[in-house]
Amino acid sequence: MFIAKKYTSPRRSMLSRVSLILLGILMITSMLFGDTAKAAGGSVRFVTVIMDGEKYPLTSGHPYAVNGSTLIPFRMLTGKLGIQSSWINSTKSLEIQQNGNKMKLTLNSAVAWVNGTAVSLSTKVVQKDGYIMIPLDFVKNVLAADVKVDDTYGTVFIDTTGEELGNVDDFGRKIRTTNLPKNYKDYPYILEDIPNEMYEMKTTWLSYAQDAQTGAEMYKTQEVTSEDMAKIIDRMKKGYDIKLNVDYKTINPSSFAKELYQYENQAISYRVVELENYANWVKKNKIQIEGSIDPEPSMVYYSGISWYVRSKVRFKINSYSEYKDLISDGFFNNKNKLKKGVWYEGYADIGISTNHSKYPGEYMNLDALSSLFENSQLHEVK
């Protein structure tokens, strides 16, 4: 059962019971399977960043990792950490002042200037989706912020030194008790960084009300725990990193099928053949897609038929010859065309399942029929 707790520092939060259990398991997973997004043909991996108890949303300019370095949007820091900044367009540089120190970052440069002294960075400052992205090591090593990085789980905590956050959940995120959604009793708690529209989205029509359970009920009865959800969500994200990052130029159908199947319910081995057939179609149809999901651990529910985890979704279809079966998704609509080269964002209830009768944290994976379109609210990003 979830119990709210007082937050003191990112280091203490990351050494919580959830993280200790995850550490050994996820290190083994990482060593065995490597960078799933890269294996699927991509090279950029979505990174979860929680700053002062609030998670940066999966939207334009979201933090990401590439070639071993993490970049975050500078706008995350605007107005925080006692920072004052100005953009100098003529030199494409960002001038920063903090605690009497003067710093400068220049676009496409891996060198920061701190009080006139050059400091090497892990990667270049870049512009992506219209946002200035800066290396995390600049925040960690130069700015006065508490930074804790969990490389295994792909989570970064940035906190203002000495600031008390109040009640947070087991994942270090602020809990709110005001302006609650209409159906707040369906959830174990309500988070500061999630809008009410995500909480109030209707559940799937594929339901059997007599056996259905809300997330609040599942947590209360220990049907699922925070530790379980941390493991499940890690597998969901890795699976969709593969599913939503395909490139006909680089995809290896056999590798794609085997890697994605390891994050799906293992009940039907023929599923590997289906995934390989899809990957071959990617090559033939010249499909290129990029995207990510961000499942919410407190937004799990049982429809009476299947488990679902409400997730933030972001994807873009970059290339295809024929508008047909562009995503490995049984609910993908071949008639309702999505625009090429346009980002789509929103929420989706993603199905998970297992062929084991217990231990959901160990065995619950993406369902073979999990979908971004079965029960979702998606919109075009203007």
- Tokens (6 digits) for 224: 């699922």
Question: Tokens 């203007």 identify what position?
Answer: 382
- Give residue 168's pLDDT: 94
**pLDDT score for 153:** 62
Q: b/e per residue, 289-309, with b = 16+ CB within 10 A?
A: bbbbbbbbbbbbbbbeebbbb
pLDDT of residue 333: 94
Segments in the chain below pLDDT 50:
1-42
Report the distance separating Cα 164 and Cα 136, nearest Å: 23
Please state the φ and ψ torsions of residue 157, each to the nearest 5 degrees: -110, 125
- CA 196 centroid distance within chain: 19
Cα separation, 354 vs 365, whole angstroms: 6
Q: What's the pLDDT tens digit per position in 40-66?
A: 334 578 889 999 999 999 998 899 988
Identity of the amino acid at 1? M
Candidates 295, 300, 13; CA nearest to 168 is 13
Please report the pLDDT score of residue 9 as a whole number.
36
**197-227 tens-digit pLDDT:** 999 999 998 788 888 999 999 999 999 999 9
Three-state secondary structure call for residue 125: strand
pLDDT of residue 26: 36
pLDDT value of position 151: 65
